[in-house]
Every structure is written in C-alpha cells, then in structure tokens.
Amino acid sequence: MSDRELLAGYIDTWASSVDDLLRLLESLTPEEWTKPTDLPGWDVRAVAAHTAHLESVLAGRGEETAEIGEPAHVTSLMGQYTEIGVVNRRDVPPEAIVEEIRSATAERLDLLRTDPPTDAAAKPELIFGGVPWSWGTLLRNRPLDVWMHEQDIRRAVGRPGGMDTPGAQHTTDYLTESLGFVVGKRVAPPAGTTVVLAVEGSPEIAVGVDESGRAQQLAERPAEPTVRVSMDRPTYIAAAGGRRAVEPDAVDYDGDVVLGERIVAALATTP
C-alpha cells in the first residue's frame, strides 16, 4: 500500500468518526451535556469542547490561549494545552460547540481531499500544540482521539454503541499493537514468556519475550502461550484507554492467570 493510500484511509476513518460523534452530540439532552465522564475533571461538554479546539487548530483557525489556573486533574504539559479549549468554551452553548466541530472538520476535510498528503513521514504545516508528529502519526491518531471521546460520552450518558464502526476497528487494532510495550516494559516477565491478546472483533496479537527482555510480536500464535488474555471490545477500550479498571469477570485467562492479571492492569497506553 502506498503512503497516499494509507493516509487516505486514515482520513476516511477520521471523517466517519467525526460524523458518528456529531450524531451523538446532536442527540444529547441539556442534562446529558453536564454528565461527568471517565476523564478526571471533564464532563461531556468538556470532551466536546476539547474536540472542537483541536479540530479548529488543525483547520487553520489559529492557536488559542487561556488562563487555566491550576486544576487538580491537569498533570502534564499536554494536559495544560488541552485544558485551554475547555476553558475557552465554558460559556459556549452546546449547539455552538457542535457547529464548530462540524464546520472545522468540514473545512479540514476539504483541504485534505483537495490537496491530499502523499508522504507519511513528512511534517504537516498545521498541527496542534507543536507536537513533532509526521503526517502518518497525526492522521492515524485523529480517528483514535475522536472515536475514544465518542465512547467517553456514551459511557457518561449510558448509551452504549458505536463498537462496529470504522473508528472502532481502527482504534482497537491500533491499541492492541502496544501489547509488546505493555508486556516487555511494564510487566517484564522472564525470557521465553509468550502472551496472546484476543480482543473480540480484532486479529489476535502474540508476543514473545527474548533474552534482552524485549517483547517482540510473533508472526504465528504459539500453540500453548504462557497466557492467553481474552475480552470483548468495550472492556479492552476502557482498559487500554485508561478509562476504567477491568471487572474481574470481564476477562478470560488461559494459562498463567497471575501474569494475565498483571498485563490487564498495565494495559492503559493512551490518556
């Protein structure tokens, strides 16, 4: 697959995820906009405001500034940056936030369709917060961010769904690639350990720990891994996204249960 085709696929998935998010936001009641989400300090409005902020910057509407104070839930430089969009839209009506997301993403989609990027390693001219991302990293991350926030809102308002969309498939497959990091760096079991992660709806991922302690992805799934960890997509997303702890009965273990539980406890790889 060429870079042009790869990036075009990411753009299509992002556009689809934006449409899904907009439909959800348009259906919310005023009370639902105030529901707290799994993200510390953020309610539904804050999640939508954050999305509007980033998409507006990427559409070329300029960076924003704001005095955010010292909220307890902000613990990093990126957290300080993302809080700017929330603070600046605190008094903005929900319908205006929805319209901002719609118009900014439409502008950006038009730009991306008219002059599509063709080199995944090249640097985009517009990016938020000065992050040093390539076109490939930026466009791969946008559908993940938009879809994960759709799910944050769905959990907050008690409306499960959206687990069979292009954004859901993209995000789940993307996050499962972090298994080697989780096993090798965070859990660090002994050399020779093999782990299989089976998330419903996605290809199984298998890694093996080598003599240097690195967990490398295996081309073939071992017949008898040290542990096989299985769960459904909603459970995995909440865990890998660092949103919620996994309920014990939501995961199946085949093999070393203690190791499997340590892996599940370390799955969170995205804020």
Residues 195 and 154 in one domain: no
Residue ranges making up the domain that contains 221: 177-265
- DSSP E strands, 66-188: none
Tell me: the pLDDT tens digits for 22-64? 999 999 999 999 999 999 999 999 999 999 999 999 999 999 9
Residues 233 and 192 in one domain: yes
Residues 107 and 236 in one domain: no
Confidence of residue 134 (pLDDT cuts 50, 70, 90): very high
The total number of structural domains in the chain stands at 2
Residue 15's pLDDT is: 98
Q: Has residue 172 been placed in a domain?
A: no
Residues 63 and 156 in one domain: yes
Q: How many residues does the chain have?
A: 271
Q: Supply the CATH number for residue 113's domain.
A: 1.20.120.450
Q: At CA 52, angle to CA 115 and CA 143, rounded to 5? A: 60
Q: Has residue 229 been placed in a domain?
A: yes
Q: Has residue 47 been placed in a domain?
A: yes
pLDDT score of 271 more than 90: no
Q: From the CB of residue 68, how many other CB atoms can be counted at a distance below 10 Å?
A: 16
Residues 55 and 28 in one domain: yes
For residues 264 and 14, give the distance between their C-alpha atoms in angstroms, rounded to a whole number. Answer: 28
92: CB partners within 8 A, 6+ apart = 49, 100
Largest CA distance in the chain: 57
Residues 26 and 128 in one domain: yes
Residues 114 and 242 in one domain: no
Alpha-carbon separation of residue 39 from 26, 44, 80, 237 (angstroms): 21, 10, 14, 14
Residues 65 and 12 in one domain: yes
- Backbone torsions φ then ψ of 230, nearest 5 degrees: -125, 140
Tell me: the pLDDT tens digits for 145-191? 999 999 999 999 999 999 999 999 999 999 999 999 999 999 999 99
**CA 83 centroid distance within chain:** 17
Work out the mean pLDDT of the chain and round it to a whole number: 96
Residues 151 and 242 in one domain: no
Tell me: the pLDDT tens digits for 67-121? 998 899 988 889 899 999 999 999 999 999 999 999 999 999 999 999 999 999 9
Q: Supply the CATH number for residue 207's domain.
A: 3.30.1050.10
Residues 10 and 115 in one domain: yes
Q: 46 in the Ramachandran plot: left (φ > 0), alpha (ψ -120 to 50) or beta?
A: alpha
- DSSP-derived 3-state class of residue 215: strand
> Are the beta carbons of 136 and 121 closer than 8 angstroms?
yes
Q: Has residue 169 been placed in a domain?
A: no
Residue 251's pLDDT is: 97
**Angle, helices 3-26/166-176, rounded to nearest 10 degrees:** 120
